[in-house]
Structure 1
Amino acid sequence: MTTTTKIETMSDAEWTVMRIFWTLGQGTSKDAIMYLKRKTDWKEATVKTLIIRLQKKNFLKADESSRPYVYKPLIEESEAIHENVNHMFNSLCCMKKGQAIEDLINNSDISKSDITDMINLLNKKAETAPDKVECDCLGKEA
């Protein structure tokens, strides 16, 4: 990812557009418009504006050698998710991170294989986890 790209600057609408390009691998604005019409009431101009914003933020790159332009993601979806989740979790109290993970699990559709992977990861993590996580909100000398 480029140094000027910051995932936290991506709006919910921009995430929706990026998900189209991540799924397709690349595509035109017409592709994005077609798929977004299935799930939003956005106008074509709105989608095109979002694509332009994503280019300016260095999330999408246009191949301008032919028309229509073909857009490709400049960041992998997994990297964007990783950065977004870590950015959000870094703003939480250490004592509340487990609660946030529980909330995500309770409110998300998750496959059986993902659940099995998480159970295995949690069992491994439990081997070295502390009995209690201390609050870090006020610093060390609170």
Structure 2
Amino acid sequence: MADSVAISDAEWLVMNVVWDDQPVEAQQVVDRLSAANDWSPATIKTMLHRLVKKQALTFERDGKRYLYRAAARRGDCVRRASRSFLDRVFGGSAAPALMHLVKNSKLTDDEVAELRRLLDKKSAD
């Protein structure tokens, strides 16, 4: 598995298709993303190629088809993107980000309970 890589907003959409359905054919990615995002097949195939160059994806040829698999783990990419977001928007500090998200998000009772559990566990550590 590759280390986490920097993924653009558009590339996240491609990676999510691959993470959810791998191995996935290029045409399946095109079918899932072209109409919803008004992207041409060429644009999506360019993103697939770019993600292979970044070593976020691998591919194998199966006859005329290209099958893509993730080389980067979703969790690693999420951590990198989260850290980048925290650094850019909140000066690297998680507490203001969490407070902002809690204040400005609609949370279910279950989500509030899970947040309480996590905070209690963090306090105990």
Q: Give the shorter-chain TM-score range.
A: 0.7 to 0.9
Q: 2:24 aligns with which of 24, 27, 30?
A: 27
1:19-76: CA deviations, max 9, x gaps?
1101112201110011113421001100000000000000010112532010000012
Task: Tell me how far 1:99 sits from its aligned partner.
Answer: 2.0
CA RMSD in angstroms, aligned pairs only: 2.5
Number of matched pairs: 124
What is the identity, as a one-letter code, of the residue corresponding to 2:91? C
- Judged with a 3 Å threshold, the aligned counterparts in structure 2 of structure 1 residues 108 and 45 are, in CA distance, closer, same or farther, namely farther
Q: 2:91 aligns with which of 81, 90, 93?
A: 93
| Distance (Å, rounded) in 1 between the aligned partners of 2:11 and 2:91 | 28
* Gap regions ≥5 residues in structure 1: 129-142
Task: Tell me how far 1:115 sits from its aligned partner.
Answer: 4.2
Q: Choose between structure 1 and 2 for higher RCO, CA contacts under 8 A separated by at least 6 residues.
A: 2
Instruction: Tell which structure's C-alpha radius of gyration is larger.
Output: 1
Residue in structure 2 matched with residue 59 of structure 1 by the alignment: 56
The SS at the match of 2:39 is coil
| Distance (Å, rounded) in 2 between the aligned partners of 1:38 and 1:110 | 31
Return the TM-score normalized by structure 2. 0.80
Structure that is richer in strand per residue: 2
Task: Tell me how far 1:125 sits from its aligned partner.
Answer: 1.7
* Gap regions ≥5 residues in structure 2: none
Percent identical pairs in the alignment equals 25
Residue range with higher mean Cα deviation, 68-77 or 104-113: 104-113
Structure that is richer in helix per residue: 2
What is the identity, as a one-letter code, of the residue corresponding to 2:63? S
Please say if residues 4 and 77 of structure 2, whose CA atoms lie closer than 8 Å, have aligned partners that are also in contact: no
Residue in structure 2 matched with residue 37 of structure 1 by the alignment: 34
What is the identity, as a one-letter code, of the residue corresponding to 1:17? V
